[in-house]
C-alpha cells in the first residue's frame, strides 16, 4: 500500500499477511476481473465491499469538490485490501476505488466481513486494527475535506454537529466562523441564518442538524433495514453499549439507538480514574469510543440520532445455555461432532482414558474428557448468610422472610446488594441472580458501593 508517493510502513495501516492468512481471507471473497479505470466502489455508495487485490493495482481517491482537484489517497498493490471502518458501521463510502490497469480482485461483502471478524480471531483482529487505524489516519489527512462542518464559534447547532461527528469518529473537519469578520468568503454566498452548514462532498447542507447529516451518511435507522431485530438498546451510554456488545457477541441481531450520539455522559468526562483496569485513568471519550468500536466489531448497528424501533428475541437448542458465536464455531468445525440430549455412562482405559461410553452412540475413542458442570460459589465459609441451595448468596429483596427477623431492630430492610447480615454486601458471581459476566460484575461492584454509603450514613461506624 502506497500513500501518495511514499510507502506506508505502519503495519496497522498496511498489514502484510502470511500466505495462509491471505488464502483464508480470499476464501471469503468473490472473484471479479476489472479493466483499467473501472470503478470498484464510489463516493456515496452505501453497501460496498472490501476489495482484496490479487493481481494489478487499485487507487483510492478523494473525489474533486468544487474548489479543489481530485487526490489519490492510496495505491493498493497485490496482496493488500482496500477499505476502512465504514465497511462495518454502514456509513456510505466517502472515497472512490478504481483499477489502475486490468487486474483481478475479490469482493468481500459487509456480512461476510462481519462473519470473518466473529469466526477468525487472528485474521479478524488484524483487519479490525487496520480498518480503525486507517480511519484515524484519514481523519488527519485531506480526506477530512469530504465532510466539512462550518458554523459560528460556540453556537449550539455547530457544537452539536461537532459532538456527533467526534462521537462517531467521522472523518471530517470543523471550521469556526467569526461572524464579526465580514471578509470571510462564505459571507458572499451564505447568510448567518444558514449556519451551521455541512459541506458533504462539496455539496452544502444549510441549517444542518446531526439528524440530517446522519441520514445523508447512511447512519440513521430506516424501517426495512432489517425486517426484525432481536434487541433494540435505547441509549448509548456505558450501560447501553455493554448491553449491545454482550447481545451481539452472543448472536442477537442488535440495534443501538441514541437521541444524540453514542457515549452518553461518560463521553464528556475528561478523565475517569476509578474504572477497573485503568490505574492511570482514561478519558471518557476514549473509553466509550473503544466500546463503540467493539460494538461495531460484533455487528451492532449504531444509529444516532434517532428513536427506538421494535424488537423480538430468538434462540436455538444448542445455544440455550451457550453463547451463539460459540455455537456457530462448534457447528462449523468439521472435527467436532455434537450429540444433543446425550449422557456419559462409562469410562474405560488402562494407564489412561481410551474410551468414553455415550448412551446415544455407544463407545467412543477418546484420550480426554472435559466436564463443564457450571460454577460453584466459594461461600462455604459464609454459613451465617442466607444462601440458596446452590450456595449463591441472597441479597436485597431476595433475602428470605425468616432471615429478616434480625432486621427489625435496624428499622429497615436489606439494601440492594446487602446480604441477610447488616452491612455485609455481595456482588458479582457469588450473588444469587447475577449475570456472571465481567462487565456486569464491574457494574455490580460499583453499585454496591452506593448501598455501603447509605448503610454507613444511617448507622455511622464509631
Task: Compute the distance between CA of residue 254 and CA of residue 423 in angstroms, rounded to an integer.
Answer: 39
By the 10 Å C-beta count (0-12 exposed, 13-18 middle, 19+ buried), 325 is classed as middle
How do residues 324-350 score in pLDDT, each as one tens digit? 656 777 878 888 888 888 889 999 988
pTM, rounded to two decimals: 0.72
Lowest mean pLDDT segment, chosen from 2-11, 145-154, 315-324? 2-11
**pLDDT of 419:** 92
Q: In the structure, what pLDDT confidence band is assigned to residue 9 with cuts at 50, 70 and 90? A: low
**pLDDT of 310:** 38
253 compared with 37, residue with greater pLDDT: 37
**pLDDT of 416:** 95
**pLDDT of 3:** 41
187 compared with 359, residue with greater pLDDT: 359
Lowest mean pLDDT segment, chosen from 389-393, 443-447, 457-461? 457-461
Assess whether pLDDT exceeds 80 at residue 262: yes
**pLDDT of 428:** 86
- In the chain, % helix, strand, coil (3-state, to 5) comes to 35, 20, 45
Grid cell 464510489 is found at 42
118 compared with 320, residue with greater pLDDT: 118
Task: Quickly list DSSP for 78-126.
Answer: TTEEE--THHHH-PPPSSEEEEEEEEEEEEE-HHHHHHHHHH-HHHHHH
Q: In the structure, what pLDDT confidence band is assigned to residue 87 with cuts at 50, 70 and 90? A: very high
Average pLDDT for residues 368-380, to the nearest whole number?
Answer: 77
- Average model confidence (pLDDT) across the chain: 85
Q: In the structure, what pLDDT confidence band is assigned to residue 309 with cuts at 50, 70 and 90? A: low
**pLDDT of 307:** 60
Encode burial over 263-290: b for 16+ CB neighbours within 10 A, e otherwise.
bbebbebeebeeeeeeeeebbbbebbbe
Distances (CA, A) of 55 to 3, 100, 108, 216: 19, 11, 16, 34
10 compared with 285, residue with greater pLDDT: 285
Sequence-ordered strand ranges (E) for 160-295? 173-177, 197-200, 203-205, 231-234, 254-257
Assess whether pLDDT exceeds 90 at residue 133: yes
Q: In the structure, what pLDDT confidence band is assigned to residue 296 with cuts at 50, 70 and 90? A: very high
Average pLDDT for residues 164-171, to the nearest whole number?
Answer: 93
**pLDDT of 4:** 43
Assess whether pLDDT exceeds 80 at residue 377: yes
67 compared with 44, residue with greater pLDDT: 44
270 compared with 289, residue with greater pLDDT: 289
How do residues 170-228 score in pLDDT, each as one tens digit? 999 999 987 776 666 666 688 888 999 999 998 999 999 999 999 999 988 776 555 57
**pLDDT of 411:** 81
Q: In the structure, what pLDDT confidence band is assigned to residue 95 with cuts at 50, 70 and 90? A: very high
**pLDDT of 7:** 45
**pLDDT of 159:** 92
With beta carbons less than 8 A apart as the criterion, state whether 142 and 73 touch.
Answer: yes
Assess whether pLDDT exceeds 50 at residue 389: yes
Q: In the structure, what pLDDT confidence band is assigned to residue 431 with cuts at 50, 70 and 90? A: very high
Assess whether pLDDT exceeds 50 at residue 319: yes
In this structure, is the dihedral angle defined by the CA atoms of residues 81, 84, 87 and 93, taken in order, positive or negative? negative
Distances (CA, A) of 434 to 106, 392, 431: 46, 9, 6
Assess whether pLDDT exceeds 50 at residue 311: no
Percent of the chain at pLDDT > 70 equals 88
Task: Compute the distance between CA of residue 435 and CA of residue 443 in angstroms, rounded to an integer.
Answer: 11
Amino acid at each position: 500500500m502506497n500513500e501518495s508517493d511514499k510507502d506506508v510502513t505502519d503495519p496497522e495501516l498496511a498489514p502484510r499477511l502470511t500466505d495462509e492468512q491471505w488464502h483464508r481471507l480470499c476464501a471469503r471473497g468473490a472473484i471479479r476481473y476489472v479493466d483499467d479505470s473501472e470503478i470498484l466502489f464510489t463516493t456515496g455508495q452505501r453497501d460496498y465491499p472490501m476489495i482484496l487485490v490479487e493481481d494489478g493495482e487499485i487507487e483510492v481517491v478523494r473525489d474533486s469538490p468544487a474548489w479543489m482537484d481530485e487526490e489519490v489517497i492510496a495505491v493498493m498493490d497485490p496482496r493488500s485490501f482496500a477499505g476502512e471502518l465504514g465497511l462495518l458501521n454502514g456509513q456510505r463510502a466517502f472515497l472512490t476505488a478504481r483499477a489502475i490497469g486490468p487486474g483481478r480482485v475479490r469482493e468481500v461483502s459487509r456480512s461476510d466481513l462481519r462473519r470473518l471478524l466473529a469466526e477468525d480471531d487472528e485474521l479478524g483482529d488484524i483487519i479490525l486494527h487496520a480498518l480503525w487505524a486507517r480511519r484515524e489516519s484519514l481523519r488527519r489527512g485531506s480526506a477530512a475535506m469530504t465532510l466539512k462542518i462550518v458554523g459560528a464559534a460556540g453556537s449550539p447547532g455547530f457544537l452539536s454537529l461537532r459532538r456527533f461527528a467526534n462521537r462517531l469518529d467521522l472523518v471530517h473537519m470543523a471550521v469556526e466562523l467569526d461572524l464579526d469578520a465580514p471578509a470571510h468568503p462564505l459571507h458572499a454566498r451564505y447568510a448567518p441564518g444558514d449556519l451551521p452548514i455541512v459541506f458533504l462532498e462539496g455539496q452544502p447542507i444549510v441549517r444542518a442538524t446531526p439528524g440530517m447529516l446522519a441520514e445523508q451518511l447512511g447512519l440513521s435507522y430506516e424501517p426495512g433495514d432489517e425486517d426484525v431485530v432481536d434487541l433494540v438498546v435505547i441509549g448509548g451510554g456505558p450501560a447501553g453499549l455493554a448491553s449491545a456488545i454482550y447481545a451481539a457477541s452472543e448472536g442477537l441481531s442488535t440495534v443501538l439507538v441514541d437521541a444524540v450520539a453514542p457515549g452518553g455522559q461518560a463521553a464528556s468526562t475528561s478523565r475517569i480514574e476509578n474504572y477497573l483496569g485503568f490505574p492511570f485513568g482514561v478519558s471518557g471519550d476514549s473509553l466509550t469510543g473503544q466500546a463503540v468500536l467493539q460494538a461495531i466489531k460484533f455487528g451492532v448497528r449504531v444509529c444516532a440520532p434517532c428513536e427506538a424501533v421494535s424488537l423480538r428475541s430468538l434462540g436455538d437448542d444448542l445455544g440455550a445455555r451457550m453463547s451463539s458465536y460459540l455455537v456457530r464455531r462448534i457447528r462449523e468445525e468439521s472435527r467436532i461432532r455434537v450429540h444433543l440430549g446425550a449422557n456419559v455412562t462409562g469410562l474405560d482405559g488402562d494407564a489412561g482414558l481410551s474410551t468414553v461410553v455415550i448412551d446415544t452412540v455407544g463407545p467412543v475413542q477418546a484420550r480426554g474428557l472435559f466436564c463443564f458442570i457450571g460454577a460453584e460459589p466459594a461461600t462455604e465459609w459464609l454459613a451465617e448468610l442466607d444462601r440458596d441451595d446452590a450456595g449463591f448468596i441472597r441479597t436485597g429483596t431476595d433475602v428470605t422472610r425468616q432471615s429478616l427477623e434480625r432486621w427489625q431492630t435496624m428499622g429497615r430492610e436489606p439494601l440492594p446488594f446487602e446480604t441477610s447480615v447488616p452491612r455485609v454486601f455481595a456482588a458479582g458471581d457469588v450473588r444469587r441472580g447475577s449475570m456472571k459476566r465481567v462487565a456486569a460484575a464491574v457494574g455490580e461492584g460499583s453499585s454496591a458501593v452506593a448501598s455501603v454509603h447509605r448503610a454507613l450514613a444511617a448507622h455511622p461506624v464509631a
